[in-house]
């Protein structure tokens, strides 16, 4: 019989398990015999405040787990302590046996169901067919939260690298301001500045994936993968509308049926001196075209195509707007997180304010423009929750 007075805790084996394995959370504790008194168990918990449960055995076989809270309730009832002398009257029989070398995320759904149905909070853990110790639900949930936070941070870093990566050399003929703020660690907004033919042709895109968080982030990475792959192939004359068709087919193949990506696509041909614009289900694209006598003509290009990933772009014709490149030409696109953001009173920012913000930064420097975007968005959202990602892409020809 193992009594409370001679419990011999085995050497700590937690270091043998990875961060994701159940063994890394397991408290190694020897079972006590069922014949031990309730009073001695109470004394043990009082003297060991970090222990939340004890395993109970009879003749070398595990009977169940006795939780600290169960014993504490007994201490409030002298009547129960008088009539119930054996510990097996208070224990919870093993509902499931977990393996120390198994992964936490594979088992958390099962233990949550047992907690809901049976109120189970502690679970027996075995290693190499021997009893190893006890793990509690709270620790498993805390570890799952930590792991997901770490995974989200890794995904955020990958997405950040995709957003900031560009194969384009500096070119004094144009500048690109990319202002981005995610609503969470990862999101569905994405922008790209991609060069072809040594930089004479460029694809500049602002993308917004339907959905949020990790699933949306995976779709943005798919778009990033498309452009990364282009670096290794000769696409010949497949530029502009033909490249959009290819991108639409790629997204359609890789994403679920209910996922689509809106896009503002700008095809810059510096050799030819033309800019081709396509709006695939995106928010309005604003154009500022310099005219005579230093006048600037403002134009709005609403969506005239279906979003990417719906498999219908290839059937559409005359979907592009072409404008000659000239000094002072400016094109601005943004995602609907800008117009949909709300202030603390729930008022939506809206299209008119977005247009005024963009028009008000015409002619301003890059630093002044970024500051204006930040000031407007911070001032509007204030203490409210930013519900969606916000991206603004500002292309200027110098």
Give yes or no for residue 77 having a pLDDT over 80: no
- Mean pLDDT score, 204-229: 73
Task: Please list the alpha-helical segments (H only) found in 175-240.
Answer: 213-230
99 vs 240: CA distance, rounded Å: 56
- Mean pLDDT score, 310-326: 80
Is residue 328 very low, low, confident or very high in pLDDT (cuts 50, 70, 90)? very high
Contacts of 23 (CB under 8 A, 6+ apart): 13, 14, 16, 17, 100, 101, 125, 127, 132
15-29, 165-179, 281-295, 338-352: which is most confident: 338-352
In this prediction, residue 377 carries a pLDDT of 95
In this prediction, residue 286 carries a pLDDT of 96
In this prediction, residue 235 carries a pLDDT of 62
In this prediction, residue 233 carries a pLDDT of 66
The full 3-state SS of 290-308, as one line of letters, equals ECHHHCEEEEEECCCECCE
- Mean pLDDT score, 201-213: 81
In this prediction, residue 9 carries a pLDDT of 46
Cα 179 to Cα 289, 372, 390: the distances in Å are 22, 11, 8
Cα 295 to Cα 62, 83, 282, 298, 361: the distances in Å are 86, 96, 28, 10, 16
Paired with 32 in beta bridges are 56
Better-scored residue on pLDDT, 221 or 126: 126
392 vs 353: CA distance, rounded Å: 14
Residue 216 has which token pair? Answer: 């949306």
In this prediction, residue 12 carries a pLDDT of 56
Closest CA to 62 of 133, 152, 164, 149: 133
Where residue 224 falls (left for φ over 0; alpha for ψ -120 to 50; beta otherwise) is alpha
374 φ, ψ (degrees, to nearest 5)? -60, -45
What is the rounded end-to-end Cα distance, in angstroms, of the chain? 87
Lowest mean pLDDT across 128-142, 155-169, 355-369:
155-169
Residue showing tokens 């405040």: 49
Q: What pLDDT digit, counting tens, does each position of 265-311 carry?
A: 999 999 899 999 999 999 999 999 988 777 888 899 999 888 988 87
In this prediction, residue 39 carries a pLDDT of 79
362 vs 299: CA distance, rounded Å: 13
Grouping H, G, I as helix, E, B as strand and the rest as coil, residue 8 is coil
Do 203 and 267 contact (CB within 8 A), yes or no? yes
In this prediction, residue 362 carries a pLDDT of 92
pTM of the model: 0.66
In this prediction, residue 2 carries a pLDDT of 34
DSSP 8-state code for residue 281: S
Residue showing tokens 């393996």: 99
368 vs 374: CA distance, rounded Å: 10
Give yes or no for residue 164 having a pLDDT over 80: no
In this prediction, residue 13 carries a pLDDT of 65
In this prediction, residue 215 carries a pLDDT of 58
Residue 164 has which token pair? Answer: 């900031």
Cα angle, residue 244 at apex, residues 238 and 250 outer, rounded to 5°: 100
Contacts of 227 (CB under 8 A, 6+ apart): 192, 194, 203
Domains identified in the chain and CATH numbers: 4-145 (3.10.580.10), 165-397 (3.60.40.10)
Residue showing tokens 């509308």: 241
Is residue 141 very low, low, confident or very high in pLDDT (cuts 50, 70, 90)? very high
210 vs 163: CA distance, rounded Å: 18
For 74, the enclosing helix (H) or strand (E) is helix 68-75
Cα 46 to Cα 31, 35, 52, 68, 85: the distances in Å are 17, 19, 11, 9, 19
Going by DSSP bridges, is the β-strand pair 296-301/53-58 parallel, antiparallel, or unpaired?
Answer: unpaired
For 173, the enclosing helix (H) or strand (E) is none
């Amino acid at each position: 019989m193992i009594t409370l007075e001679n419990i011999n805790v085995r050497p700590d084996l937690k270091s043998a398990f990875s961060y994701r394995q159940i063994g890394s959370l397991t408290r190694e504790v020897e079972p006590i015999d069922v014949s031990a008194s309730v009073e001695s168990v109470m004394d043990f918990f009082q003297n060991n405040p970090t222990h939340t449960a004890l395993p109970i055995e009879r003749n070398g076989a595990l009977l169940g787990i006795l939780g600290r809270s169960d014993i504490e309730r007994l201490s409030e009832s002298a009547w129960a302590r008088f009539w119930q002398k054996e510990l097996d009257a208070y224990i919870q029989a093993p509902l499931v046996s977990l393996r120390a070398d198994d992964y936490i995320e594979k088992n958390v759904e099962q233990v949550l169901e047992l907690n809901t149905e049976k109120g189970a909070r502690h679970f027996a853990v075995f290693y190499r067919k021997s009893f190893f110790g006890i793990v509690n639900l709270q620790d498993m949930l805390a570890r799952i939260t930590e792991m997901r936070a770490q995974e989200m941070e890794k995904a955020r870093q990958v997405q950040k690298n995709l957003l900031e990566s560009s194969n384009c050399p500096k070119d004094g003929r144009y500048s690109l301001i990319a202002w981005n703020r995610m609503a969470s660690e990862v999101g569905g907004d994405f922008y790209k500045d991609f060069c072809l033919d040594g930089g004479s042709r460029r694809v500049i895109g602002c993308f917004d994936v339907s959905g949020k968080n990790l699933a949306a982030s995976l779709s943005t990475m798919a778009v990033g993968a498309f452009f990364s792959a282009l670096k290794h192939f000769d696409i010949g004359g497949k530029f502009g509308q033909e490249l959009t068709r290819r991108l639409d087919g790629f997204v359609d193949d890789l994403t679920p049926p209910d996922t689509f990506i809106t896009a503002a696509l700008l095809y810059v041909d510096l050799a030819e001196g033309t800019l081709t614009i396509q709006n695939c289900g995106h928010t309005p694209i604003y154009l500022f075209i310099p005219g005579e006598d230093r006048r600037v003509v403002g134009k709005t290009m609403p969506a005239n195509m279906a979003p990417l990933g719906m498999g219908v772009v290839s059937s559409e014709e005359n979907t592009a707007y072409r404008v000659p490149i000239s000094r002072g030409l400016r094109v601005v696109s943004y995602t609907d997180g800008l117009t949909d953001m709300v202030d603390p009173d729930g008022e939506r920012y809206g299209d008119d304010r977005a247009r005024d913000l963009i028009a008000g930064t015409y002619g301003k420097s890059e630093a002044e423009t970024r500051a204006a975007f930040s000031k407007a968005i911070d001032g509007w959202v204030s203490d409210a929750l930013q519900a969606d990602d916000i991206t603004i892409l500002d292309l200027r020809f110098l």
